[in-house]
Amino acid sequence: MQFREESSIGDRIARLRLRRKLAQERLAERAGVSVDVVRKLEQGVRNTARLTTLNALARALDVEPSVLGGQPTTFEVRGEQDQPSVLALRQAVSPLADLLGEEADPEEPPSLADLRAALRSTECIRRDGRISEIGALLPQLIKDARAAVRAHHGAEAAAAHAVLAEAYQIAATTLTALGKEDAAFTAMERAAEAARRGDDPHLETVGVSTLAWVLTRQGRLADAERIAVATAERVEPTFRSRPVELSLWGILLLRAATAAVRAGRHDTVRDLIGLAGAAAARIGTDRLDYATPFGPTNVGVAKVNFLVEMEENAEALSAARVVPDLRSLPPTWLARFHVDRAQACVELDRADGATQALLVAERIAPEWMRYHSTSRRLVADLRGRERRRTSPIAELAERINLDGQACD
């Protein structure tokens, strides 16, 4: 894999600001942030910023937040076999054969049982944060599901469409993690069409949840909140609703809250987290539906994230200490929780606590850490404060390849 030097967030802001012919004061005014924040970021005094700030600056500079955040844009390669490829994933999501009207693959498609087993395996890999493995396996899963859709009829075709819808959703989250939000949106359009033809009535709701996340990552915060809230209102549970329906409703509320907090709409965030908490209390325990957890633990973790984004860092750390049953969370959710703890510690000038939280996150989901932009920014910030040449944070920076970014 080739690497190039990864510029700092301040370098990217300055470059884009100059391209837009904006003075620092004008950029700060357009973004609604302090000019001191812009100056410190560009001067390298600060190496990280809250997602609310990044979204505001991205809007003012007319770019997606991932452009400012800085993250690997392709897959890591661990060996010569089964090398993951962004291009292969793009080709699977948007095959040229559809435009040319070419005939279907003559090979026999896999059985529905094999398709479902492959899907469950891929979902497990995603929850573990093994992103490069997803990149190697997912293109073939999408191709196999498409072949099954073409080969079957009736109920079997509907079942194949359901698998295809979930495969497209995994593609969307994977492409989003690599900063390919436009390709992710295309994957979600495909997922929505497959869900409508599938045999699972919940897949359209799940798809909206994923779409809201993609829109949030695009910086389309109002759109993300709107679609999540509108769908939540449509599927709002009743006293007779099953736990899965409560779970999916709660997930939509958390997606809406994620968009709202990044837009700085704190009152809305508190209202949404209150509703999600009530749904979680009715369920009573955390569930894992469609590869996404929901329940008292996940709501507690989400609350910590929102408090950090609202700059209530001391409250966030207090809330983090009382989140129940953390071991029930999938690895990537748990790792993100510790990254949020690290963010709060950084804001409170507790560098040692931040470093320890990041090391815990790395032990839980090491590969995910190398792709996660907030983790990388925090490590860069802490390394910049470290005076020792050799230290735990310097070693972590090396392990996540902080000074190199994968090229397209």
Q: What are phi and psi of 277, to 5 degrees?
A: -65, -40
Q: How far apart are CA 153 and CA 176, in angstroms?
A: 33
> Do 316 and 269 have their domain in common?
yes
Classify residue 205: in a domain, yes or no.
Answer: no
Q: Where is the domain boundary, 325, 348, 378?
A: 325
Classify residue 142: in a domain, yes or no.
Answer: yes
Q: What is the pLDDT of residue 75?
A: 83
Q: What is the pLDDT of residue 171?
A: 96
The two beta strands, 3-4 and 405-406, are: antiparallel
Classify residue 272: in a domain, yes or no.
Answer: yes
> Do 77 and 191 have their domain in common?
yes
Q: Give the pTM.
A: 0.86
pLDDT-based confidence at residue 243 (cuts at 50, 70, 90): very high
Q: What are phi and psi of 287, to 5 degrees?
A: -115, 165
Q: Is the pLDDT of residue 311 over 90?
A: yes
> Do 194 and 239 have their domain in common?
no
Q: Where is the domain boundary, 278, 302, 325?
A: 325
> Do 335 and 373 have their domain in common?
yes
> Do 228 and 305 have their domain in common?
yes
Residue 351 belongs to domain spanning? 330-408
> Do 295 and 408 have their domain in common?
no
The two beta strands, 3-4 and 292-294, are: unpaired
Q: Where is the domain boundary, 325, 351, 377?
A: 325
Angle at 126 between CA 116 and CA 381, to 5 degrees: 170
> Do 181 and 264 have their domain in common?
no
> Do 112 and 53 have their domain in common?
no
Whether residue 74 contacts residue 88, with contact meaning beta carbons closer than 8 Å, is answered with no
Classify residue 206: in a domain, yes or no.
Answer: no
Q: How far apart are CA 97 and CA 353, in angstroms?
A: 53
> Do 255 and 320 have their domain in common?
yes
Q: What is the pLDDT of residue 407?
A: 36
Classify residue 182: in a domain, yes or no.
Answer: yes
| Count of domains forming the chain | 4
Classify residue 209: in a domain, yes or no.
Answer: no
Q: What is the pLDDT of residue 106?
A: 55
Classify residue 212: in a domain, yes or no.
Answer: no
Per the listing, tokens 């984004």 go with: 309
Q: Is the pLDDT of residue 3 over 60?
A: no
> Do 314 and 336 have their domain in common?
no
